[in-house]
Amino acid sequence: MNKRVLKLAIPNIISNITVPLLGMADIAVVGHITDASNQIGAIALGGMIFSFIYMTLSFLRASSAGLTAQAHGKKDKQEIQSIFVRASFLALLLAGTIIFLQKPIEWLAFSILDGSPIVESFALDYFKVRIWAAPATLLIYVFNGWFIGMQNAKIPMYIAVLGNVFNIGLNYFFVFVVGMQAEGVAWGTLIAQYLSLLLAIGFILKYYPSYLKKIQFKLSLQTQKLLDLLSLNRDLFIRSLTLIFVLSFFTASSVKISTEILAVNALLLQFFMFYSFFMDGFAYAAEALTGKYIGEQNLTKLKSAVKITFLWGLAISLPFTILYITIPHFILRLLTNDINIIQLSQQYLFWIEIIPILTFASFLWDGVYTGATAVKEIRNTMLISGLIIFLPIYYLLLPSMGNNALWLAFSIFMFSRGFWMTIWYKKAILNKITPIQKQPPELYKKQSRSYRKK
């Protein structure tokens, strides 16, 4: 089981780490041209718009992974194919909606965002190009989720790494060869997304060609099946929106305290984000294995997968805790050379030191529950933790604790998610496995024979 977990987790960790590296590369490209500050600001504003859109639609990857993993565990080839078709159809429908509504999205986004006229002008150029990447971006979500559900994390890793190589190369070409500015970075991202999609299609044609033969669109796109998928994704959408609300509230509240606190919190959140790349890798592994063993109705392997994943989560959290206790100043100096910000950050390092231990369970349970498609529990956990716990703690303690109240509320928010999912584990996850005595006689006989052989 250890090998299975690591085989899924390590490629996912590598895929996750490529995301911030690409953002750094985008900034590095325009950071070396004339009017660099305005171009960097434009990419930051434009990128924020798309980060919000795609974070709210990340349920496409999660639902595809969970459903596919369960069908894979059942060895239901027809359902595996149908899930792929339904999820792709939904992705194209959502992408078409985004493109159709690009003018209202543009108006709303630039009404909310506050930038100088010249920065907003460049950001608008960036937005108008990159919006056309929506179909490729959302389909890649579906493809990656489907591959993970098929217990293959290497292909999403290849897509992420090669896609980012395409992106960086194209950015360089459009900015330094063609002579574009922020708009050139948008063109690089647009083309790279479609090249990544072609790469994903190529992997399916090479390794899973049988799933593209005799596609039964009528069966796959049955109205009730589509409604069930929408219902599943609705709860995941609410979960994503609540998480985005908490993170956005964290930033907005930092601004209200002071500009210096905003800078400090932005830096300290990088510690949390870097740690999250590792935890998400193991969460995706838990997602794939949980779905597979629920599909197989194998309670023993399900419990083993959850146990091993949590042991790895603890094993990763402890070194991060030690790292953040021992060399936080070195990490801060890598992020900034502003002595005042570094000194002010020292008052709040405690929260970064305890966050790995407090939060690892929330990441891993998220993967387990997604693999089990226990989406109502995921939604309820997020709503309870975000609205009933996070906000009251912050507002009650802000007058006496200041910025510490914000970090305490955030830490308890993350811990609460793990706490509630631990409480609901048996009901939401283990009860999805039918006890052997309650299974159909044919299945009971089959399992009984396998036990006797052992």
- Same domain for 287 and 193: no
| 447, part of any domain | no
pLDDT value of position 437: 41
Residue 24: its pLDDT value, please? Answer: 64
pLDDT given at position 444: 44
pLDDT value of position 446: 52
Q: Which of 5-9, 276-280, 333-337, 425-429 has the lowest mean pLDDT?
A: 333-337
Q: Within a domain: residue 2?
A: no
215 shares its domain with 106: yes
User: Are 61 and 189 in a shared domain?
Assistant: yes
Same domain membership, residue 266 and residue 187? no
Q: What is the pLDDT of residue 442?
A: 53
Mean pLDDT of the chain: 89
User: What does the pLDDT look like over 235-269, one tens digit per residue?
Assistant: 999 999 999 999 889 988 887 888 788 888 888 88
Residue-wise pLDDT tens digits, 64-114 = 999 999 999 999 999 999 999 999 999 999 999 999 999 999 999 888 876
- Give the pLDDT of residue 452: 46
Total domains in the chain come to: 2
446 within a domain of the structure (yes/no): no
Q: Is residue 325 part of a domain?
A: yes
pLDDT score at 34 = 67
**Are residues 203 and 85 part of one domain?**
yes
Specify if 7 maps to a domain: no
Within this chain, do residues 237 and 280 fall inside the same structural domain, yes or no? yes
Residue linked to tokens 């596919």: 68
- For range 386-398, the mean pLDDT: 96
| Domain co-membership, 200 together with 243 | no
Supply the range of the domain harboring residue 159: 12-221
Asked if 104 and 248 sit in the same domain, the reply is no
pTM of the model: 0.89
Same domain, 217 and 238: no
Whether 203 and 249 share a structural domain: no
- Exposure string for 171-181, b = 16+ CB within 10 A, e = fewer: bbebbeeeebb
- Between 35 and 132, the more confident residue is 132
Radius of gyration of the chain measured on its C-alpha atoms: 23
* 104 and 216 inside one domain: yes
Domain-embedded: residue 264: yes
